[in-house]
Each structure stands twice: as C-alpha cells, then as structure tokens.
Structure 1
Amino acid sequence: MNITRENVDALNAVVKVAIAKEDYSAKVEKILIDYRKTANIPGFRKGQVPMGMVKKQYGKAVLVDEVNKLLQDALNKYLTEEKLDVLGQPLPKLQDTINWDADTLSFEFELGLAPQFEVNLKAKKPITHYHIIADEKMINEQIERIQKQSGKLISQTVVEKDSEITGTFKNEEKEIENKVTLTLDKFKGKATEKQFLGAKVGDVITLKTKGLYDDEHELMHALKVEHDDIHGLDIEVNFTIAEINTRELADLDQDLFDKLFGKDVVKSVTELKDKIKEDAEKQFTQQADQKFLNDVTEYLVENTKFDLPAEFLQKWMRTAGEQPLDSDQAKEEYEKSEKSLRYQLIEGKLITDNNIQVTMDDIRDHSREMIKAQMAQFGQMNPSDKELDDIAARILSNQEEARRISEQLISQKLLALYKEKANLKVKELSYENFVKEVYGDK
C-alpha cells in the first residue's frame, strides 16, 4: 500500500491511496473459504459448493468490503502519523469506474485542513468583567420577602396594594380555567392595579392578556397555557376573586433563623444580612462570569482572523448529516455554523498552547463536590467518602455525563485563563444596575 499527499493550498489537500492486490487477497480468500463452509446453495451439500461458484456469487462484495476497511484504517493511521489537523472527514473523489480486477486499486480523498493562526487575548479595548454586589436595598427586599413567606396570612375584605389575591382566570373560548394566587406588583401597568384595588370576594375583573405582564412566561403560568400558545396571545380573561389576604411579617427571631438556615448558623439580623449578601453574590459571580465568558468569546471570534476551507466544508456537509443536503442548503448550514466552528478552533488552540488538561481525578473530584452540594440541600451534611465515591462512580459510568463534566471543567479553566491574560476592567455595580446595563431597563 502506498499513500501520498498533494497540498492544493494551505487549507486543502488530496490524499492518494494505492492498494496492491497482495494487500487484501489473502484476507478475501480466507473469508470466501469460510463462506464455502456455510453456504447453502440448492444442489450442493453444505461445505461442498465449488469454490468458483462461491467466488462468483460473493467474491465482488467481499473484495469491496475488505478494500473499504483497508482504506478506512489506512487513512486514519496516516492522518494520525502525519499529525494532520483535518476539518470534517476525508471525502472520496468520485470515480467513473473502478476495475476491481486490476493489480493495483487507486483512490483519492479530499481533505479540509485546519488553518494556522495565533490567538491574542489582549484586546485594545478592555473587556468588562462585572463585580455584582448585593446592595442594602436588595438585602432589605430579600429580608421582607423572607418575612412575608414565613408570615401569617390575615384575611381581608377588600383588595389593597399589598394583598395576596386568590382567584380563577377563565376564558371559555380558549378553554382557560386556572386557579392562582397573585400580587399586584407583578402586573405591568398601573391601570390593572387600579382595577383590583377595592375589589371584594366574588367580584369579577375583566383583563386583556396583551401587556398584562412584563414577561409572557408569567402569563403562561397564570393562565396555564402551553408555551407555543402564549406568545402574542391577545384575548380577554375574567378573574373571579375567591380569597383576599395580607401577610403579617414574621418576626426576625432565632426561631426564624434556625428554620431557614439550621440551628445557630445565623444568630442576629446583622448575620442574616451577611448571609443573604454572601449567598446572593455567589450567584451573581456565576452570572457575571458567564457574561464575561460570552464577551471574550465574541471578541476572539471577531478578532482572530483566519480562513476556512469553506468550499470543502460545504461539500462535506451535503452528506454528513442524516439527510443529504443540496448545495444551497449546505451553504446555509455552513453560514449558520461558521461562527461556532471558528470558536471551536480558537478554543482548541488556547487549550493546546496553554497546556489545559482535565484528568480523570479532576472529573471525579468535581463530581464529589457536586454530590456533596446536592446532599447538603436535603440536610445530609456529612456523607462518607465511600458514599461519595460510589455515587460518583455511578454517575461517571455514563460516558455522556462524564463528557459533560469534562467540558464544564475545561470551560472553568478557560475562564481562569481569560481572567489572568485578557485585557479586562472590573466594574462594580448592583444587580439592578447590572441588569439595566447588560439587558436594558425592562
């Protein structure tokens, strides 16, 4: 067997594979002998079929199958030994006819080669890394929510601004009938609030669904309507009031602290505020890190310049999926996936250049920490090492789950790299201002 490569340009190559008859003939002969032993052909006893007949009936199919296996193995070995970084898979060049009786069979494959490039993390304009803080306003609002949730319900005769109103949304045409408890602060407009204020048990309030809530998902849950049906829903619904209550705020005492956090974990309002601030800012860190990761990704894709073997990739996409694509469909698919492909290449380059690795021990340790955190939520604070190891082993026996955890760890290590080497500026602000700045004032 002989394999040669011709580089068309920096991103495309053609590999030629020449297979001699001696490379496959012995294997083909052995398979045909085995076929002869089991062949069931009328007029002949099993094992007594003439070899010529076996070759005539099965020879071509066996030959083609063995040559294809040889080609696949040879190509994989060649790409590994030559350390060729290819995109997609090798594409066989079409041949009009193949003379399977020839002493040498020749095949050609097109390759799309990954580009060579450098990655510069130092943006001219610094990338913002937000440090989101839980300010006094947020902490106090959270304390009030805790007091309300743990407080005692007191019945009211009329709806007031802070009432909890239980009732049923109904629309016969759309077959909507759903009982909910709501508060007036969730509605989008002041006009809706005015419709409720002063209302009594038994009153029916007619509401338009369009613009009722800021977030249509709130409306989806209120009406118990399917996700696909809620967007753009513009109908009238009747809300019949069944119950009106207010909540007496729970006292900020040791009983409440123990109920929320466990015995003596929090012992004062000051410690409660510190705990709320700590827990909130842990969550904010994850959100800020994700925003930073997204921004760095965007920067790298936009500013790391290299060409791709676009024509080859589109040709490969035509046959790579479950359903074949025509040239226009393949072009559209390529354009949709190009940005993602570029970042995969950039990420791979950063992982290689910075020797980022995830070992099985890393994956196992991360799994143990996830399990401990989940068990703590259910009050199991001190699981044994054996428990953790057994559960981790079960989780990691699922290859898909192990791969997911590995990708999480790679992402964490890349985030640490970006924080260390990227040109960034830290901006401290409240969560409310973070939402306004990043997502707009909604």
Structure 2
Amino acid sequence: MKVNVQKKDDLNAVLTVAIEESDYREKVDKTLKDYRKKASIPGFRPGHVPAGLIKKQFGKSVLIEEINHILQHAVYDHIQEEKLDILGNPMPVEQSDIDWDGQKEFQFDYELGLAPEFELKLNARTKIPFNKVIADDEMIDRYVTDYARRFGTMSYPETVEENAILKAKFVEVDKKDLAVEGGIEAESTIALEALTDKAAKSVLGKKVGDKVVLAKKDFKDDFRLAGVLKVEDEVLENSSYRFELEITELSKLDPAELNQELFDKVFGEGTVSSEEEFRARIKADAERVFVGDSDRKFYQDVRDKLLDKYQFELPDLFLKKWMKTATEEPMSEEEIEEKFPQMKDDMRWQIIENRVIRENDIKVEHEEMVEYTKQMVLQQMAQYGQFPEGMDLDKIAHNVLGNREEAQRINDQLFQQKLLQFFKDTFKLDEQEVTYGEFVKSFYGN
C-alpha cells in the first residue's frame, strides 16, 4: 500500500491511497473461511458449504468492508504521521468505475483542505477593553426590594390598596363594554403594579365583586398580558384588547422590614448586622456573578481583535463541499452560502486558538480534569444543600470522566479557562467600570 499527498496549492491537496491485492487478500480469505464455518445454507451441512459459493455470495461485501477498513486507517494514520494540519475532514473523490468482481488493485483519492501558514505575533502592548461590571444603587435597591418581598407576609385587605394582588374573572368586551361572543375569557391573577399609574389609581378602593374595564393602554408596556390570560400573543393582538375584570379575591404581599431578622434569613445568622452591611454584601455577591460575563466579553473582544489582525485565506470551495456532509441533514446551496461567512470566521478563530495553544504549550492534564470535576460535583451538591462527608469524590470524578462526551466538555472548559488567563496575562487590559445595563448594551447592542 502506498499513500502520498500532492499539493494543488497552499490550501488544497489530494491524498492518494494505492491498495494492492497483498494488502487485503489474507484478511478477506480468513473472513470468508470463518463465514464458511458458520454459514447455514439449505442443502449443505454447516462447515461444508463450497468455498466458491461462499465467495460468490459474500466475497464482494467482505472485500468492500476490508478495503474501507484499510482506507480509514491509512488516511488518518498518514495525516497524523505527517502532521498534516487539515481543516474539516478528508473528502473522498467519487468513483463510478470500480470493478469489485475483477479488479485486484485499487486507487482512492481524497481532497484535503489545508490550514494556512501564518506567523503568530501577540503584542503585549495591545489594549483589550475589560469591562468590570459594578452593581449600582439602582440594582442594589432592586435586590433589596426582591428580598423584602421574598420573605414578606401575605395579608388580605377588604379593598384594593398599593401593591395589591387581584384575582379576577377576565372577559373580553367591545367598545360598548359588552362581552365579545367567542372572545377571551379567563380566571387569573394580576398585580396592581402591572398597571400604569393612572389605571392603578382608578382601581384603588375597589372591593371583591366590583368590576373594572381595562384596555391595552392601561397595562405597562413590558407587561405580558397574554401569559396571564393563557393565550398566544397573536390571539391577544387580534382581540379587542379590552377586558372587564370582576374582582373575586384580594391579597397583598407586605414586604419584610429591613432588620436583623431579614438579614439572617437571607445570608445566615449574624453574617451581616446592619443595612449598610446588607447592601454591601448584595453588591459583592452581584459583582461576583458578573465576573463570568466580563470574561466572556473580554474573550469575544480578543477574538474580534485577532480575527481582524490575521486575515488569512481558507480553502473556501473545499469547506463549502465539506459543509454539505458535515450535518445530519444535507444543506442546500442557499443555506451554505448564508451560513458560510460565520462558519469561516469560526474556522479562522479555531485555527488561531490552536496555534496559540501549540506555540505556548498550553495543556490540560488528566489530574486537572479530575480536580475540576470534583469541585464541580461539590458545587452541584451544595446547590441542593448537600454537604457529603466521607464521599469518594475521586471515584465519582472518574465515573463522570468515563463518559466521553462529558470528559470532552470538561476538557474544553479547562482549555477555555487557560486560554482566557493566557490572554489576560499577554495583553494590556483597558479596565473600565460599567453598570450592568451599560454592559448589556455594549455586549448585545440593545
């Protein structure tokens, strides 16, 4: 068997595998002998079926299977041995003239897409913005309000008051406030704060049994009435968007007072002892959560910077052909053209990442994966209030890593962490403090 690679240009090559009869004959004959021992064919005793009949019935399929086995190993072994940096997967060149019955020697060609050669130079003077997300007073106030409500108590006023919750029968009505035949009807609950200030004032003082009519303009813009009515958004939009509400029950959530009892319920007994410490702890916890968001934004900015710097070309035609076979469902030409620009950027970034990893000897050791998995297990159990003693975490970690997909996911996460730290150590971080609202706007553009 001979394997060679012929470069068509810097980004494309053809790998050729030439197979001789001596490469497959012994294995094919052995397989056919095994078939003969086990074959059950009417008119013949087991093990006494003529070899010619076995070959006639099974010879071609056995040959094809063995050739495919040889090809698979030959192609990928050669790529690894020659350290060929390929993109996608080798693409077999179609052949329609193979004579499996009479041919003794075979030749198969594979198209290869080659990764481009480029010099990677990372400049330590390069500035990359790093957004340190801070929890401002507005955000802290929202957290304080949410905690006070979460640990508040329910009361049942006789009339609608501030912060009241109304349980009501909703009936769609027309402009004359008459029920719409076949219109939307529902029994549901709505908070007074879902209404505009003007509409809320008109409802204050109402009691159980009273009725009030509310139109689209009476609900706040960000309130999703369709969810309350349990209908699709389109159904609501096609309605009169005018409803008569008959109040059937009133309740009210009285927020907890900002005192030591609330502080202990939220953070544990004696952890904080004043409103100032309470707000400081909320701020610290919120900003700790934002670290991951800041890192993701930083990594994205590094990606954009390096993609802009290294504008190397790729074997576009090869990659488009490869895209047709890379998904379970075949892609149309239109889909390929639509998705190719993003796929090309992703491929270029993967090439840059791999070059960074290789040239800077960034590795993930098995012991690191075990320790990472152990910490992951502990964190997951802590979420459910479980703090195991004497548990064999090493055994659990090895069981988790025994799942190939899970092991690959953990390996990828650790590589991501190491790359992130490498970029932080390599580039000059232009640190800027931003609120979460400003961060979201800069990251997502809305």
TM range (shorter): 0.7 to 0.9
Between the two proteins, the alignment pairs up a number of residues equal to 434
Structure 1 residues 14-49: Cα deviation after superposition (integer angstroms, max 9, x where no partner):
111111111111111111222222333343333222
Q: Does 1:290 align with 2:296?
A: yes
* TM-aligned CA deviation for residue 214 of structure 1: 4.7
1:99–1:105: 8 Å Cα contact kept in structure 2? no
Whether 1:317 and 2:323 are equivalent positions in the alignment is yes
For residues 139 and 56 of structure 1, the distance between their equivalents in structure 2, rounded to whole angstroms, comes to 80
Amino acid at match of 1:363: M
- What is the rounded CA distance, in whole Å, between the counterparts of 1:332 and 1:214 in structure 2? 35
For structure 2, the residue ranges without an aligned partner over 5 or more in a row are: 173-180
Against the structure 1 CA distance between its residues 435 and 51, is the aligned structure 2 distance closer, same or farther, given a 3 Å change threshold? closer
**Residues in 2 aligned to 1:374 and 1:406: alpha-carbon distance in whole angstroms:** 18
Provide the rounded CA distance (Å) in 1 between the counterparts of 2:216 and 2:415.
Answer: 45
Q: How far is 1:308 from its partner? A: 1.3
- 1:408 and 2:413 are equivalent in the alignment: yes
23-32 vs 44-53, greater mean Cα deviation: 44-53
Q: Distance in 1 between matches of 2:218 and 2:427?
A: 42
SS in 2 for 1:386: coil
Asked if the contact 1:356/1:413 (under 8 Å) is kept, the reply is yes
Alignment of 1:2-401 (within 5 A): 2-100=2-100, 101-119=102-120, 126-167=127-168, 169=170, 173=182, 177=186, 179-184=188-193, 186=194, 190=197, 192-193=199-200, 196-208=203-215, 212=219, 214-215=221-222, 218-219=224-225, 221-225=227-231, 229-230=232-233, 233-234=236-237, 235=239, 236=241, 238=243, 239-380=245-386, 382-384=387-389, 386=391, 388-401=393-406
Q: What amino acid maps onto 2:50 in structure 1?
A: P
The residue type equivalent to 1:180 in the other structure is: T
Please list every run of at least 4 consecutive aligned residues from structure 1 whose deviation after the TM superposition is greater than 6 angstroms.
Answer: none
Alignment equivalent of 1:428, drawn from 433, 440, 444: 433
Asked if structure 1 preserves the Cα contact closer than 8 Å seen for 2:11 and 2:315, the reply is yes
State TM-score, norm by structure 2.
0.84
Contact 1:20 1:104 in 2 (8 A): yes
Unaligned runs of 5+ in 1: none
Q: When the two structures are superposed, what TM-score results if normalisation uses the length of structure 1?
A: 0.85
1:12 partner letter: N
Q: Which amino acid aligns with 1:202?
A: G
1:94-152 deviation digits (Å, cap 9, x = unpaired): 23412443443222111111222345555998443111222334334432332333233
Paired letter, 2:258: L
Give % identity: 40
What secondary structure, in the 3-state scheme, does the structure 1 residue paired with 2:391 have? helix
Is the contact between residue 176 and residue 224 of structure 1 (CA under 8 Å) also seen in structure 2? no
Decide whether the 8 Å contact of 1:122 with 1:423 is kept in 2: no
After TM superposition, the structure 1 stretch with the greater mean CA deviation from structure 2, 294-303 or 66-75, is 294-303
> Which is worse superposed, 22-31 or 358-367?
358-367
Q: Deviations over 1:328-367 (max 9, x none)?
A: 4444443452232232222222222332222332233223
Amino acid at match of 1:110: E
Aligned mates of 1:374, 1:416 — CA distance in 2: 24
Moved more, 197-206 or 254-263: 197-206
AA aligned to 1:262 is G
Call closer, same or farther: CA 1:384–1:327 in 2, change over 3 Å.
same
Higher alpha-carbon deviation: 1-10 or 164-173: 164-173
The amino acid of 2:291's aligned partner reads: T
- CA-to-partner distance for each residue in 1:174-231, whole Å, 9 max, x for gaps? 76635234241x55x5555455445443344444569955557x54543344xxx436
1:210–1:232 CA contact under 8 A, matched in 2: no
- Mapped contact 2:226–2:236 kept (Cα < 8 A): no
CA distance in 2 between counterparts of 1:99 and 1:327 reads 33
Deviates more, 1:341-350 or 1:115-124: 115-124
